[in-house]
Structure 1
């Protein structure tokens, strides 16, 4: 194909490409979901406590963060429904949170549904009482029970992928 013609053709949309400001829940779920910021606001809300965001490796102070408001990650996973094809699959389930830039962080079923981590892992859409916009990194993932919040503080959250690990 002629290079000039190829550059003039419109790009073919990728149905699996993440849409900015939209969170997809995919993988081993019964009801795959694509949630806008407005759809996230329709779920019961939870609020974090303020915290200092510090670099994990250097402990350098990045910034003080006002309370986040958002929806618990467990509420979203329960709404999507976990697909367990074999008895006990949920015990081997991991959830990979992936940002638009490819940054990814994991959670396990056990920590989300069987420890205090699940009570503080949220997808936030508001900070300090003000709505977060896509330019602010919304939606973002925050794990308030982590000893150091920076490694699982994920801006521009694109997808939560549920996976069952092989035994």
Structure 2
């Protein structure tokens, strides 16, 4: 199978999963009057320990900081984010990987969605310290301050993404999905 049909098949699978209600990013849309109110993050899908994360639970995990530089309105900007590693959160949910299958973890994808319906997809290989080793954060602070009501209380921060397109503000759901056999 060439690369293009594989990508189309993955996109179709994710879309059909989302539309079936198993993971529906639109269901996480918040009433505008509650934006910034206490929110939780549901961790579900192919995990042995589904969980509901609160801001306090994320703060209780080992903290990491990352400094990111970007360009906004033609001017360089820099922000320091603080939070927990996404891989630590996912590890505690105990993904249903099969150790007897070589690199079974690489058959999984993560759909992260925000309460506004925005969503982004990651392969497990990007997130696992043993493979891509990307320090993706579930951030709760920017420049030493709690995230704004628009971005928080939790936001996914993806160092190395050129356009910050997979930064998911108002993070509300993490859904682990097995792709293929």
CA drift of 1:126 comes to 0.7
Moved more, 63-72 or 83-92: 83-92
CA drift of 1:61 comes to 4.8
Give 1:77's match in structure 2, choosing from 90, 96, 105.
90
Give 1:151's match in structure 2, choosing from 140, 165, 175.
165
Deviations 1:100-130 (A, max 9, x none): 121111111111111132xx20100011111
SS in 1 for 2:165: helix
1:57 match: none
Unpaired segments ≥5 residues, structure 1? 1-15, 55-59
Alignment of 1:29-40 (within 5 A): 29-40=47-58
CA drift of 1:154 comes to 1.2
Give the structure-2-normalised TM-score: 0.70
Aligned Cα root-mean-square deviation (Å)? 2.4
Specify whether residues 98 and 62 from structure 1 end up closer, same or farther in structure 2 by C-alpha distance, changes over 3 A only. Answer: farther
CA distance in 1, matches of 2:107, 2:68: 33
1:24 match: 42
Give 1:52's match in structure 2, choosing from 70, 76, 81.
70
CA distance in 1, matches of 2:107, 2:180: 8
CA drift of 1:53 comes to 5.5
Contact 2:108–2:179, Cα closer than 8 Å, also in 1: yes
Contact 2:68–2:159, Cα closer than 8 Å, also in 1: no
Contact 2:87–2:127, Cα closer than 8 Å, also in 1: yes
Specify whether residues 42 and 145 from structure 1 end up closer, same or farther in structure 2 by C-alpha distance, changes over 3 A only. Answer: same
Unpaired segments ≥5 residues, structure 2? 1-23, 31-37
CA drift of 1:50 comes to 3.3
CA distance in 2, matches of 1:93, 1:99: 20
